[in-house]
Structure 1
Amino acid sequence: MRAARTAFVVLGALLVAVGAAALVVGVPVGQWPAILVWLVAAVLLHDAVFAPLVLIGTRLLRRTGARTSWARLAIVQVALVVGAALSLVAFPGIRAQELGARNPSVLVFPYALHLALLWGGIAVVTAAAVLLTRPRRRLVGDASR
C-alpha cells in the first residue's frame, strides 16, 4: 500500500510540474492573476458548496440504508456524483450560450439539452442497476436449494 501511495504522490507531483511548465511557457504573465482567481474560486466552490452538499446527500441516503442495501446506495451515490461532475463541466457552455458568443462557431451544441439528456441517461442506467441488485426471494418449495 505504501508503494502505491508513493507512486501516486510522485505522479501527482509530476503532473503539477507539467502544468506549471505549461503555464509559464504558454500563458502570458498578464493572464496569471485571472487564472489564480479561477483556481481559488474553484477551491472555495468545492469546499463551501459541493463538499457539504455531497455530505448532506450521503447522510440522507444512508438514513434509507435500513430499507435498502448498501449496493443500491452506492449505485445512487455514484450516479449523483457523475451527474454533478457532468453538470459542472457543462455549466460554462450553458452560461456562455446565455450571454452570447462573439463568434457563433465557438458554441455550436445545445449544451442545456445535452445535459438534460445525460441526466436522463444517468437516471435510466441507475434505475436499471438498482433493479438488477434487487434481492431475490426464494420460494418455500424451491427445489434448487
Structure 2
Amino acid sequence: MRAARIALVVLGGLLLVVAAVALVAGVPARQWAGILLWLASAVVLHDAVFAPLVLVGTRILRRFGARTSWAGLAVVQVALVVGAALTLVAFPGIRAQALGARNPSVLVFPYALHLALLWGGIAVVTAAAVLLLGARRRRADGGRGA
C-alpha cells in the first residue's frame, strides 16, 4: 500500500510539472491571472458548495441504511456525486443558452435536455444497481437461513 501511495504522489507531482510547463509554454503571461482566478474559484466552489452538499446527502442517505445495504448506499452516493459534477460542467452551457449567444452556431446542443437525459440515465443505472445488490443480498441471506 505504501508503494502505491508513493507512486501516486510521484505521478501527481509529474503531472503538476507537465501542467506548469504547458501553462508557461502555451499560455500568454497576461492570461495567467485569469487562469489562477478560475482555479481558485474552482477550489472555493468545491469546498463551499460541492463538499457540503455531498456531506448533507450522505447524512440523509445513511438514515435509510436500515433498509438498504452499505453497498447500495455507496452506489447512490457515487451516482449523486457524478450527477452533481456533470451538472457543474453543463451549467455554463445552459446559462449561456438562456442568456442568448451572439453567435448561434456556438451553442448548438440542447444542454438542459442533455443534462436531464444524463440524470435520467444515472437514475436508471443506479436503481438497477441497487436492485441487483438487494437481490444478491436477499439470495445470500436466504441461502444461509435454509
TM-score (norm 2): 0.88
Written as runs of structure 1 = structure 2, the 5 A alignment for 1:65-84 is 65-84=65-84
Give the residue type in structure 2 aligned to 1:119: W
**Displacement of 1:125:** 1.0
The residue that corresponds to 1:6 in the other structure is 6
Question: Whose helix proportion is higher, 1 or 2?
Answer: 2
Gaps of 5+ in 2: none
Provide the rounded CA distance (Å) in 1 between the counterparts of 2:25 and 2:100. Answer: 31
Following TM superposition, by how much is the alpha carbon of 1:98 offset from its aligned partner in structure 2, in angstroms?
Answer: 2.3
CA positional deviation for 1:138: 4.3
Equivalence for 2:32? 32
Taking only aligned residues, the RMSD between alpha carbons, in angstroms, comes to: 1.8
CA distance in 1, matches of 2:50, 2:21: 29
Letter in 2 for 1:106: V
Is 2:49 aligned against 1:49?
yes
> What is the DSSP-based 3-state SS (H/G/I as helix, E as strand, rest coil) of the residue aligned with 1:125?
helix
Deviation at 1:99, TM superposition (A): 2.8
Quickly say closer, same or farther: Cα 1:14–1:138, change in 2 above 3 A.
Answer: closer
Aligned to 1:96: 96
Give the letter for the 1:95 counterpart.
R
CA drift at 1:121: 0.6
Q: Name the CA distance, whole Å, in 2 between partners of 1:98 and 1:30.
A: 30
Aligned-residue identity in percent: 79
The CA deviation string for residues 85-117 of structure 1, in whole angstroms up to 9 with x for no partner, is 111111122122223333332222111110000
Count of residue correspondences: 141
Alignment partner of 1:61 is 2:61: yes
Segment of structure 1 superposing worse, 20-29 or 91-100: 91-100
Q: TM-score w.r.t. structure 1 length?
A: 0.89
Q: 1: distance between equivalents of 2:116 and 2:64?
A: 27
1:12–1:94 Cα change, 3 Å: same
* Matches of 2:74 and 2:125, distance apart in 1: 14
For residues 28 and 99 of structure 1, what CA distance do their matches in structure 2 show? 29
